[in-house]
Amino acid sequence: MLPVESEYGQVFHPVFISVDPARDSTGQMKKYLADFHPRIVGLTGDYSSTKSVCKAYRVYFSTPPDADPKGDYLVDHSIYIYFMDPNGKFVEAFGQNSTAEDVIERVTKEIGEWEKETGRRV
């Protein structure tokens, strides 16, 4: 359980979006994400869909569009964790230099503000 969840309950729905659609099948994603949060949802799609979602979230990635899943190639990408509010609105992006304390502090602040505005946690 995440530290914030011990205080606020299950207020998170973690989602992981693959930037390697050629190799990241649904089965492969399930195996990979088993080491993460128990409620994490993995999303994958074709190259065009991946490119579109990366553009929308301003994520850099470099994967050959015609990559052979059995081939040897590198995937270069930016690494962010996006924090969205219960309405799906962007709140913050946490990068590689963000600490757990940074994330917990911001999430706690946003939950408090959301609760003041709406009278509910989610």
Domain of 19, CATH number, reads 3.40.30.10
Residue recorded with tokens 């304390």: 101
Its domain, for residue 38, covers 3-118
Q: Residue 15: what pLDDT?
A: 93
Q: Which of 11-15, 60-64, 118-122 has the lowest mean pLDDT?
A: 118-122
Residue 115 contacts residue 109 (beta carbons within 8 Å): no
Q: Tens digits of per-residue pLDDT, 17-73?
A: 999 988 999 999 999 999 998 899 999 999 899 999 999 988 999 988 888 888 888
Q: Residue 10: what pLDDT?
A: 84
Q: Residue 106: what pLDDT?
A: 94
Q: Residue 50: what pLDDT?
A: 92
Domain count across the chain: 1
Please state, rounded to an integer, the average pLDDT across all residues of the chain: 90
Cα distance between residue 91 and residue 107, in whole Å: 9
Cα distance between residue 119 and residue 113, in whole Å: 10
Select from 108, 110, 106 the least CA-distant residue to 95.
Answer: 106
Confidence class for position 1, pLDDT limits 50, 70, 90 = low
DSSP annotation of 84: E
Comparing 12 with 35, which gets the higher pLDDT?
Answer: 35
Is it the case that residue 108 has pLDDT exceeding 80? yes
Is it the case that residue 6 has pLDDT exceeding 70? yes
Record the pTM: 0.80
